[in-house]
Copies of this chain bind each other. A is one copy, B any other.
Amino acid sequence: MSTRKLMVVSTSTVYGKGYLEYCQEDVKDFFKEASTVIFIPFARPGGISHDEYTAIAREKFTSLGITLKGVHEFDDPVKAIEEAQGVFTGGGNTFVLLKQLYDQGVLLPLRKRITEGMPYMGTSAGSNITGLTISTTNDMPIVYPPSFEALQVLPFNINPHYLDPNPDSKHMGETRETRIKEFHYFNEQAVVGLREGSWLLVDGDQITLKGTLPVRMFEKGKDPYELPADADLSFLLS
């Protein structure tokens, strides 16, 4: 029986709404027992600094009555994770994020805390790293991390910002579905295609799909299939 508590969010921002606005009540509820949450800004969206990124997340969390501190603000980031009441990792570039987690020695302590039941929320790249590997990221490999192995607190992979093929496109680059099919020539684990506006709520051995959209599931050797909002995805843990 696992005690993990995760909120695995496809995107921080949906079209036409503010940062984390569409899921803010769920964020507040998820962190209800944490007076302070540690923010991991390592993914640096658009190359912004850790301070700039933390300021964006802090503004939102403050409005929800939660104190947010950037992990880079601590002299000892490992200790900050070891003592955290909750952690939120924002999106950006998954390679940059994972490399920093390795370089700063934060990956293993973070894995341990999540396994012990500390609430962890990620958006986009921050969600990608909850799975076995970052091999189903959509990001550009702009830095070389020492491994693609991620937090591995969930026994599958996440594809955030899942995007359906555009039937009108004349572009010959691979669709997302083709890419994930290629992934399964070389890897075994299931891939959860989380559309923008969806998230997984993980409580121990229970996984529930939240938001209003269906999820697209990719299992090796099966045709992709959809499960509706509020679906029970706990089977992914067995």
Determine how close the nearest CB of chain B comes to the CB of A182; give it in whole angstroms: 5
A222 at the interface (CB under 8 A from B): no
- Among residues 1 to 43 in chain A, which have CB atoms less than 8 Å away from a CB atom of chain B? 11, 13-16
- Among residues 43 to 98 in chain A, which have CB atoms less than 8 Å away from a CB atom of chain B? 44-47, 92-93, 95-96
Choose from B134, B137, B172, B184 the contact partner of A14 (Cβ within 8 Å).
B172
Q: Beyond the given A46-B182, A140-B183, please list 4 additional residue pairs across the A-B interface where CB-CB is below 8 A.
A: A44-B185, A46-B181, A140-B179, A141-B148
Contacts of A13 in B (CB 8 A): 172
Give Cα A180–Cα B180 distance, bound, in whole angstroms: 23
Interface residues of A (CB under 8 A from B): 11, 13-16, 44-47, 92-93, 95-96, 134-144, 147-148, 161, 163, 170-174, 178-187, 196
Contacts of A16 in B (CB 8 A): 170
Q: A142 near B135 (CB under 8 angstroms)?
A: yes
For this chain, the copies found in one complex come to 2
Q: B138 near A47 (CB under 8 angstroms)?
A: no
Determine how close the nearest CB of chain B comes to the CB of A203; give it in whole angstroms: 27
Give Cα A35–Cα B183 distance, bound, in whole angstroms: 36
Choose from B15, B137, B143 the contact partner of A186 (Cβ within 8 Å).
B143
Q: Knowing A15-B172, A186-B96, say if A140 contacts B138 (CB, 8 Å).
A: yes
Contacts of A187 in B (CB 8 A): 142
Choose from B46, B95, B136, B142 the contact partner of A140 (Cβ within 8 Å).
B136
Q: A173 near B163 (CB under 8 angstroms)?
A: yes
Q: Knowing A138-B173, A147-B144, say if A182 contacts B47 (CB, 8 Å).
A: yes
Determine how close the nearest CB of chain B comes to the CB of A42; give it in whole angstroms: 12
Ranked nearest first, the 5 interchain pairs of A and B with the lowest CB-CB distance are: A47-B185, A15-B170, A161-B173, A140-B179, A142-B183
Contacts of A140 in B (CB 8 A): 135-138, 179-180, 182-183
Choose from B143, B171, B179, B183 the contact partner of A161 (Cβ within 8 Å).
B171
